[in-house]
């Protein structure tokens, strides 16, 4: 099925990225240690690893130096930049280390830590790591949700950690609760739409993505998955319309080629 093919293809690309970005333990204290750790990057020849990571290495040294100046009003801006740099390099454990330092810094620190754990969960290269970071996400954001039951962002992220667990229905029910409380919650609606596609419930997927498009008709992902969902339920005219919308919204050559492939199948 076309929608299943795109989901499987995306998962395959993600796996390749995750394998390439295996965690590299670089919670370094100075430039020399950073260089040493990066040079030992898994699976890379030393020269290549050094060349690829020069810019990132400078960013790490800079953002850590800013954090080392102590707590200030910009602390979480610096911390977020450091986490983003680590994750872009695949240094997931180092990003988690930043979260652990921030956790003790009041409510903002707890929220920052929970968000970082969730990102680590999303980037995890294997099931064991994913489970570990999912648990940290649930513990940290769970504390926030307990204090503020109306924090739907925290609830949505916790729900997504359950979706990939041994109790996925718990996560799905939580996402539905979020949408009931906030019918315009785009993240929860999007995730429910993707889950509907993965389970072959394309009629439900159509409803979810139609809702997203009604909230924002310039949402490329929503239009794309809406087009695939229409295709799966046999509505070629609406599928063509949604996919043509994607071509208008995103001129990236890869997107254009992918959409053209589906449009050609519609016409044949």
Task: For residues 4 and 87, state if they share a domain.
Answer: yes
Instruction: Tell me the CB-side half-sphere exposure of residue 112, using CA atoms within 13 A.
Output: 25
Last residue of a domain, which of 110, 143, 176? 143
Domain co-membership, 122 together with 255 = no
Q: Look over the chain and give the mean of its residue pLDDT values, rounded to a whole number.
A: 78
pLDDT of residue 62: 61
pLDDT digits 0-9 by tens, 32-60 = 433 333 323 333 323 333 333 566 666 66
Residues 252-259 have a mean pLDDT of 90
> Are 136 and 32 contained in the same domain?
yes
Residue 21 confidence (pLDDT): 35
Q: pTM (2 decimals)? A: 0.71
Domain boundary among 143, 163, 196: 143
14 and 110 inside one domain: yes
The residue with greater pLDDT, 241 or 54, is: 241
Higher-pLDDT residue of 29, 220? 220
pLDDT confidence bin for 241, thresholds 50/70/90: very high
* pLDDT at residue 19 is higher than 90: no
Domain with 163 in it: 148-268
Looking at residue 99, its pLDDT comes to 87
Judgement on whether residues 196 and 229 belong to the same structural domain of the protein: yes
In this structure, are 240 and 178 located in the same domain?
Answer: yes
By percentage, how much of the chain surpasses pLDDT 90?
Answer: 49
The pLDDT of 153-172, averaged and rounded, is 91
Examine the domain organization and report whether 17 and 75 are in the same domain. Answer: yes
DSSP 86-107: HHHHT-HHHHHHHHHHHTTSHH
Same domain, 180 and 225: yes
Specify the pLDDT at position 210: 98
pLDDT in tens, 186-236: 999 999 999 999 899 999 999 999 999 999 999 999 999 999 999 999 999
DSSP string, 125-149: SSHHHHHHHHHHHHHHHHHHHHH-T
The DSSP annotation for 106-122 comes to HHHHHHHHHHHHHHHHH
Contact 20/27 with Cβ under 8 angstroms?
A: no
Number of domains in the chain: 2
Which of 62-71, 156-165, 213-222 is the least confident region? 62-71
User: For the ranges 18-32, 123-137, 206-220, 235-249, which has the lowest average pLDDT?
Assistant: 18-32
Clarify whether residues 124 and 166 are in a common domain. Answer: no
195 in the same domain as 154: yes
Task: Among 143, 175, 207, give the residue marking a domain's end.
Answer: 143
Residue 185 CA, chain-centre distance (Å), reads 17
In whole angstroms, what is the distance from residue 18 CA to residue 132 CA? 16
Which CATH number characterizes residue 194's domain?
Answer: 1.25.40.10
């Amino acid at each position: 099925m076309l929608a299943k093919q795109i989901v499987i293809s995306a998962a395959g690309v993600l796996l390749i990225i995750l394998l390439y970005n295996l965690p590299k333990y670089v919670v370094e204290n100075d430039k020399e240690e950073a260089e040493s750790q990066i040079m030992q990057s898994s699976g890379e020849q030393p020269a290549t690893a050094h060349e690829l990571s020069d810019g990132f290495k400078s960013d790490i040294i800079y953002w850590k130096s800013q954090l080392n100046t102590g707590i200030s009003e910009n602390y979480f801006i610096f911390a977020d930049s450091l986490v983003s740099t680590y994750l872009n390099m695949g240094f997931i454990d180092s990003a988690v280390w930043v979260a652990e330092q921030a956790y003790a810094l009041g409510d903002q620190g707890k929220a920052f830590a929970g968000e970082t754990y969730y990102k680590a969960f999303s980037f995890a290269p294997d099931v064991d790591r994913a489970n570990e970071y999912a648990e940290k996400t649930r513990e940290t954001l769970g504390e926030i949700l307990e204090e503020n039951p109306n924090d739907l962002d925290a609830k949505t992220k916790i729900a997504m950690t359950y979706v990939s667990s041994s109790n996925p229905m718990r996560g799905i029910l939580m996402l539905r609760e979020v949408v009931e409380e906030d019918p315009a919650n785009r993240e929860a609606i999007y995730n429910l739409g993707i889950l509907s596609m993965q389970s072959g419930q394309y009629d439900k997927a159509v409803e979810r993505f139609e809702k997203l498009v009604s909230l924002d008709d310039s949402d490329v992902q929503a239009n794309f998955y809406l087009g695939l969902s229409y295709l799966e339920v046999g509505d070629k005219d609406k599928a063509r319309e949604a996919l043509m919308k994607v071509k208008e919204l995103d001129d990236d050559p890869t997107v254009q080629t992918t959409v053209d492939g589906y449009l050609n199948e519609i016409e044949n």
